[in-house]
Chain A
Amino acid sequence: MQGVLDGIRVLDCSGEPGFLAGKLLGQLGADVVKIEPPGGDPVRRRGPFWGMRVDPERSLPWIALNDSKRGITLDLAKPAGQDIFLRLCRTADVVLETGMPDDLARLGLGWSELARHHPRLVLCSLTPYGQSGPHAAWRGSDLTVVARSGNLHCTGDPDRAPVRCSLPVSHFHGSLEACVGIVFALLDRERTGRGQHVDVAMHEAMVMPNIGTASMAAMNGHRGARAGAFIRQRHSVQREIWACRDGYVSFALRGGPARVPGLVALTRWMAEEGMASERLQAMDWATYNHNLLTQAEVDALSAEFAAFFATKTMTELFEAAVRRNLMLAPANTAREILASEQLAARRFFVDVEHPGRGILRLPGAFAVVSSACPDETTIRLRRPAPRLGEHTAEVLSEIGLDANELARLRAEGVV
């Protein structure tokens, strides 16, 4: 066995929102076959491009999220393409798709059709709002589903519009949620012998990232508010993002008793460098409760911490944080992340050969698994993202198509 999902075949028809889901299943050992339209997925036409050369094989958003999959082209709008898709389904365990709720049904490939022919198949549909309900037909994208989740409302500065993360977090949440649903459905199939339709909504998936505060709003009336680099506490507004010499760090006054050692350690370091006032050095941390601080107390503490941070770089602060347990973290960019000694020690990044383009360093296994049979359980990046149609001949020959049939399909533009 090669991974816990060895033997599971996934037909990954997903667009961008589902890229990550197929990648995860592939790294877990599933045989993930990415199905693209003959012209290629639209993301291939989007930059940034590797080496700044506009080329569908050099799109970095494509390369970054489609590793560990094989790739074929297939025109599902053509009857011959639909026929091949149904034949592929015969060998598959899972179909993953991100079309609008009726898209597959219009092609004659909807859930009722698939289930009739292939009762063991799991169909996972990842959509903005889900398969049914008053807004199932609404268009959605990362920006708009996050807008409807409560999460956007609370992100950003109070004097400006709500703001999103510049990379699509709802795709990540939705993809992970889809993987939970797929593995649950596979577990269910172990006992029932039957597959099922798994309906994942990105809108709904984005409510959980509010970490309970959505439910709490119904209990305490707090509808959420943007606080920028700050957080609102019971009696005060407290800074959580602090400028340092070359960037920013995350550090908080809140967190209950677990946070106090970090505050004590920071104060000690500041005292060693002659930057802690007598008042700060005299703080009684044993009775400290961030919930009870007045705004004036918060401001006085914050002014001293801010002045100290301004004299240090992100790296200096983080190195000291690890040594002294300051409970502080730098707002890393890709540069610091790729230089992280922690990630290096865990061999998190791997160098992946992309034929004809070179070697690219990418995140590797997303978890480290140990077991009596490591081959069975190891998670790893299994192959680079496929080139357009790279495995079409290979995959179609596996379902019994010969060279003549393949040539005919190519001539007809089906593959």
Chain B
Amino acid sequence: MTALFEGTTILEFGGGAAGPLATRYFADHGATVIRVESHQRPDFLRVLRLTPDQPGGLDASEHFAVLNANKLSVALNLARPQAVAVARRLALRVDAIAENFAPGAMARWGLDYASLVQDRPDLIMLSTCLNGQTGPHRAYPGFGGQGSALAGFNHLTGWPDREPVGPYGTITDSLSPRLAAVLLAAALLHRARTGRGQHIDLSQVECGVMCLSEMVATYTANGEVLSRQGNRSSHAVPHGVFRCRDSSDGRERWLALAAHDDSDWARLVEVMGHPTWTQAPGLATLRGRLAAVERIEAGIARWTRDQEAWPLAARLQAVGLDAAPVEDLGDLHEDSQLAHRGHFRPVDHPVLGRHPVETHAIRFSALTPSIERAAPCLGEHTDGVLRELLDMPPGEIAELRALGALD
């Protein structure tokens, strides 16, 4: 059987993380994903760490490379009307369009849903941005860090006596592409059944707030504002992260550990060897442990401090306890479970050489994610795409290039 999206073409406008991560799901299952880019206004990720002396320039961005594997790149300078005309021809030719420009940008080029749908009634288009396509803040530009703050994740992450920190990695940039992939796939399913298209307006902030429905309900029902509470939980004690022995190369090592009920606690006490502090009255019940949470955390921290995190986690798991070592980003490449699932896959990049990229967290019994190529250099596939998708003769391509439309 061919790949699920073999023969499906998605045209992608925009950049950063939130847009491009969504189309990766389709690319990893055979879709042709064509990024429209320009040297004149390069993708934010191509320039994020760029300094003037960078060898390889816009094609040397590691960050762009790891997020955009399996895609093609067409350079179109949309400041030129001839380039806009080419973009429009591509837009009418493909199966779906995904864009994450600021609202209004696509309309200025006549590439918005309302303009295209007249010539392509079954068009599927996904527009995603920070605040959505409508409303007083629609034009407000933002990066993922702001989505996380606006949606409430920052306030909920960190220590009660310190600044909010937000989960690492601008979480609305990782939640929203997942939702975008669901919506785009559902739109393709709907079109397969009815022949009809749709325009999807996805706000990254709304996606985040929807995930935090419990925070909303707690406030609207009781007026209670949920706030960050470190690693503690109101229904599990201990529920924390404890320092272990440093690694042989001097890195801090930590163990995450949670006892979800009284039986977990009893087994934990057993593994610890019944130290005297655990015999204090009341600790056998959640209520007692909640009252003694600081004493319990201090006791466990004393116990873990001279132990190695991995063997300790394995020992706790062996008696059915919920424990895991904290892995840093380097450790992930030695994680046997991720290796088993084939999370990281090597690609050969013309500037960066061989490097790993990631696939999604879904394994299917009848479909296999596959990464065929490294992220594209800017404009790497311009000629090929114009030739194959638009049957454009070489003379016309040369003419467009001379006009600066393919820059």
Contacts and interface: CB of A to CB of B under 8 A. Distances in A.
B220 interface: yes
A398 B343 CA distance: 42
A192 interface: yes
Nearest to A323: B140
A143 B189 contact: no
A184 B4 CA distance: 8
Interface in B143-178: 143-159, 162-171, 173-175, 178
Interface residues of B, number: 156
A176 B178 contact: yes
Interface stretch (B77-85, B253-261, B388-396, B398-406): B253-261
A364 B175 CA distance: 17
B194 to A, nearest CB: 7
Given A153-B326, A248-B154, A216 B171 contact: no
Contact of A207 (B186, B332, B366): B332
Given A143-B256, A333-B155, A362-B220, A155 B165 contact: yes
Contacts of A176: 175, 178-179, 182
Interface string B211-251: 11111111111101111111101110001111100000001
Interface string B324-341: 111111111101111011
A250 B214 contact: no
A190 B192 contact: yes
Contacts of A212: 17, 62-63, 66-67, 358
Interface string A341-377: 1110110110000000000111100111111110011
A250 B148 contact: yes
Given A48-B218, A203-B337, A322-B140, A186 B135 contact: no
A349 B49 CA distance: 39
B206 A328 contact: no
B189 A4 contact: yes
A72 interface: no
Contacts of A228: 158, 162-163, 165
A369 B357 CA distance: 32
B216 A334 contact: yes
Given A129-B337, A173-B175, A187 B4 contact: yes
A150 interface: yes
A363 B50 CA distance: 40
A161 B153 contact: no
B365 A139 contact: no
B242 A161 contact: yes
A177 B151 CA distance: 20
Contacts of A39: none
Given A154-B169, A322-B140, 18 more contacts: A60-B214, A64-B217, A144-B324, A148-B335, A153-B326, A156-B159, A157-B159, A202-B361, A204-B337, A205-B360, A205-B361, A208-B174, A248-B155, A289-B51, A334-B219, A345-B136, A366-B179, A377-B187
6 contacts: A141-B258, A147-B241, A147-B325, A203-B337, A346-B206, A361-B216
